[in-house]
Chains A and B, each alone.
Chain A
Amino acid sequence: MSQLNFSVVTNSSNDTATKESVASFTTKERGLLQSLQHTLHRTPSLVPLIVLVISLLVFGLLLGGKFFSSFVLTLILQQVAIVGIVGAAQSLVILTAGIDLSVGAIMVLSSVIMGQMTFYYGLPAEAAIAIGLSCGALMGYINGLLIAFMRLPPFIVTLGMWQIVLASNFLYSANETIRSQDIEKNAPLLQFFGEKIHIGGAVFTYGVIAFIVIVFVLAYVLNNTAWGRHVYAVGDDPQAAELAGVKTKKIIVSVYVLAGFICAFAGWALIGRIGSISPTSGQFANIESITAVVIGGISLFGGRGSILGMFFGALIVGVFSLGLRLMGTDPQWTYLLIGVLIISAVAIDQWIRRISS
């Protein structure tokens, strides 16, 4: 790159006046509400973090020590780990202004494939897991190709893929569950992510640790690599990104491949969580992952939000579910409140986006 030596054109008084009105940036005269809007705009994960802290405090006050124990708080992490991992995949897709309805199906089929490879073809668990993970990536690849090159809407492609993958899952597994004891005896590696680490009263599973690691690795990748910046640019304005030199199609395909891979990984973690391999498990993973992403403040219109927000969003759902259960309320209240949260989250997103006007 050449460092061109160029003297700034000297300003006549007229010129300066023009510049002030054109290129100056007003930092003052901002109301409280506006500065709040700006802060939230800069740090999109702040809203879910505030909601999370408030809900923790409210449930803590209502339930006291019953809620504020390291056991209960880590139990929440265990309960949201699977949805959170799938939510990480969903976040990537939604950042590109897409949506992936097939995440849950890919997760379940991948776990079934891992089981079938071990128990019906007698492969070692390591190989079975590798095959399961590649199948997840392959399904994501098909999604990505159809979306990027056939220009089909992501909603339709993944809606179709959801049905196709789920049906394949039932056909392939003949709707049979592989029992937990068998897995434990023959292929304990499949249950790896269910293993627990006790630190005082706190219980962490490897699945929880994997969830946290995935979120932080993706947060790093999205913020500090060119690929990550391109994911945002593609979701923000694909034409602009293309003209600026981003290979938008490659980015979209790579996002769906990575999403498929992460979902397959969630399938592995799912075996650890429930012990067995069941083709009927994880039915609601797609809706729950979208919920976590939306409550986490990631815009469904793409290009805005952070994966840390999704992390907080998943935890909010976990806190509500467990908190309300401990209070002994009807579980329907959980769904009702989560519905309210979803709509509020999108309303806040719209408000924050109005900053440019």
Chain B
Amino acid sequence: MSEPMLSVRNLVKKYGRVTALDHCDFDLYPGEILGVIGDNGAGKSTLIKALSGAVQPDSGEIHLNGKKVQFSSPIAAQDAGIATVYQTLALSPSLSIADNMFLGRELRKSGFIGKVLRQLDKKKMQRIAREKLTELGLMTIQNINQTVETLSGGQRQGISVARAAAFDSKVIIMDEPTAALGVKESRRVLELILQLKAKGIPVVLISHNMPHIFEVADRVHIHRLGRRLCTINPKEHSMSDAVAYMTGAKEPDGIMAT
């Protein structure tokens, strides 16, 4: 296998006396979908937050495309190309779809109107937003100016994914994307994840839903007690194996440690 594009070594994060990450390792290879599973409190979300810049680790290193990186904020991580779709989606319900997609990176008009009057280029942002949604097959959402609160849960997820995919992202992290969705909407989101992969963007998928993970993931990272226990190939292991490793009922022997 080629070099990992995102790799983490010996990451440690402590909250008071609680060790959330205990010398944790993590690898993501180009073009793959990596499932991340682990029991509640195993430290998955802390790991994800460290990758997305929401949490600063106490020690350890994160490498992106071979270069050492350090993120002081989610914006810094986004600028470096790591986009995260949060479980809460991080959308502003009363703003429009286009406003949401460009929140925090609005485009201004050129010349005097843009530089001095700071006027936003709404037309351009709406056009790009529409293009990005079309790319992901979400353009049945007709009015790019309707507010996000008028959309269904699946549509909102779609907007959030489109936003993550829109801005030159190298990696997309998705935290429990199907947790709040119905069966049909979940299917649509899984299709979206496969479309991202088809575009060549690797996806880190955190989920409690084993069937979803086993359906789309190329590899599964099992997190236990603040560190990576092992990585398994979902085609060679059953879901019950994975649950057994995750909960400590069974030891993974003879499995690749990377």
Contacts and interface: CB of A to CB of B under 8 A. Distances in A.
Contacts of B91: 237, 240, 244
Interface stretch (A2-10, A74-82, A154-162, A170-178): A2-10
Contacts of A1: 128, 166-168
Interface of A is mostly: helix
Contacts of B168: 1-2
A240 B92 contact: yes
A23 B188 contact: yes
A236 B103 contact: no
A241 B103 contact: yes
Given A25-B142, A240-B88, A356-B149, A226 B118 contact: yes
Nearest to A245: B104
A23 B199 contact: no
A229 interface: yes
A20 B140 contact: yes
Contacts of B135: 4, 6, 8
A67 interface: no
Interface string B122-156: 10000010010011011011110011011110110
A334 B199 CA distance: 64
B94 A304 contact: yes
Interface string A243-268: 11110000000000000000000000
A226 B90 contact: no
A221 B118 CA distance: 8
Given A244-B103, A356-B93, A23 B191 contact: no
A106 interface: no
B196 to A, nearest CB: 10
A39 interface: no
A226 B108 contact: yes
A23 B149 CA distance: 14
Interface string A1-31: 1111010110100010011111111010000
Given A226-B120, A246-B104, A21 B75 contact: no
A241 B92 contact: yes
Given A18-B187, A241-B92, A23 B75 contact: no
Given A9-B195, A225-B120, A355-B149, A236 B137 contact: no
A15 B146 CA distance: 25
Contact of A23 (B141, B166, B195): B141
A283 interface: no
* B92, B95, B105, B168: most-surrounded residue (chain A CB, <10 A): B92
A22 B103 contact: no
Given A9-B195, A229-B99, A240 B120 contact: no
Interface of A: 1-4, 6, 8-9, 11, 15, 18-25, 27, 41, 221, 224-227, 229-230, 232-233, 236-237, 239-246, 303-304, 355-356
Interface of B: 54, 74-75, 78, 84, 86, 88-95, 99-100, 103-106, 108, 117-120, 122, 128, 131, 134-135, 137-138, 140-143, 146-147, 149-152, 154-155, 158, 163, 166-168, 184-185, 187-188, 191, 195, 198-199
Given A19-B140, A232-B95, 12 more contacts: A1-B167, A6-B135, A6-B199, A18-B187, A19-B137, A22-B155, A22-B188, A23-B158, A25-B151, A224-B119, A355-B150, A356-B149
21 contacts: A4-B199, A6-B135, A6-B198, A18-B187, A19-B140, A20-B140, A22-B154, A22-B184, A22-B188, A23-B138, A23-B140, A233-B92, A236-B95, A237-B93, A240-B89, A240-B92, A243-B54, A245-B74, A245-B103, A246-B104, A356-B150
Query: Lowest 8 A-B CB distances belong to which pairs?
Result: A245-B104, A243-B90, A356-B149, A226-B106, A23-B140, A244-B103, A240-B90, A236-B92
